[in-house]
């Protein structure tokens, strides 16, 4: 499961490093992004424009939007089959911009869990594989939501959790957004990111509260 992540770099730097298009909305640095909050996504592989969508997917057919609280992640192995995700998997795939994600781990049974921040070794931004939805309400108004796909963990993450978010490298990133991509080709992209290109370190338990969103909470701490 991926329940928190970071977007700490300057938007201009993210735009350059990921070769993105215009930012349709203002994207502020974030140190503790939580479900139900707006997150930056890219839907079009040609314009590569960056928009803000609410994290927690609400299918267009859902009457109760609180379903989004349970759909912050989708299993990559079955998303193309599940009613909540299969339409989005076929027609509404996106990239979700990040530069780190958190997992919690206890050193021993019964001990308090410590949050760990996972990043690329060079601290560059990256993109999660995501799905998005657009819902219109009969009484007026719209809701734009998204979810992060997860997969089996790589050799680094598996010591801390049994799932990890799907992180797409440069080539896979834009292949994921191609509207005419075959399902088999898309599934081939949803694999663990190479562990030797990643790092992790423990951070403050202040991360446990989504209300804490400041640079110092992601500094490495001694255990």
DSSP letters along the chain, please? ----EEE-S-HHHHHHHHT---BSS----EEEE-TTSEEEEE--TTT--EEEEEES---TT-S-GGGGGG-SEEETTTTTTSTTTHHHHHH-EEEEEESEEEEEE-SSTTSPPEEEEEEETT---EEEEEEEEEEE-TTS-EEEEEEEEEE---TTGGGT-S-EE-EE-HHHHHHHH-TT--HHHHHHH--PPPGGGEEEEE--GGGGSTT--SGGGGS----
Active site residue 146: no
* Catalytic residue check, 197: no
The catalytic residue among 94, 103, 151, 200 is: 103
**2, 94, 146, 200: the active-site residue:** 2
Residues labelled catalytic: 2, 103
């Amino acid at each position: 499961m991926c329940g928190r992540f970071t977007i700490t770099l300057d938007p201009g730097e993210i735009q350059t490093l990921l070769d993105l298009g215009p930012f349709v909305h203002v994207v502020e640095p974030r140190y503790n992004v939580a479900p139900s909050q707006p997150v930056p996504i890219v839907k079009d592989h040609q314009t590569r424009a960056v928009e803000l969508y609410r994290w927690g997917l609400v299918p267009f057919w859902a009457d109760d939007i609180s379903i989004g609280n349970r759909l912050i992640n989708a299993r990559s192995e079955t998303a193309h089959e599940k009613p909540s995700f299969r339409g989005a998997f076929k027609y509404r795939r996106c990239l979700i911009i990040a530069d780190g994600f958190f997992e919690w781990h206890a050193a021993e049974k019964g001990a308090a869990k410590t949050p760990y921040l996972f990043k690329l070794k060079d601290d560059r931004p990256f993109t999660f594989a995501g799905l998005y939805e657009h819902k219109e309400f009969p009484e007026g108004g719209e809701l734009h939501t998204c979810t992060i796909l997860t997969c089996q963990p790589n050799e680094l993450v598996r010591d801390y959790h049994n799932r990890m978010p799907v992180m797409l490298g440069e080539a896979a990133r834009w292949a994921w957004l191609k509207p005419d991509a075959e399902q088999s080709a898309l599934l081939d992209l949803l694999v663990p990111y190479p562990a030797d290109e990643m790092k992790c370190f423990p951070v403050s338990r202040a991360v446990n509260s989504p209300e804490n969103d400041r640079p110092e909470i992601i500094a490495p701490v001694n255990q």
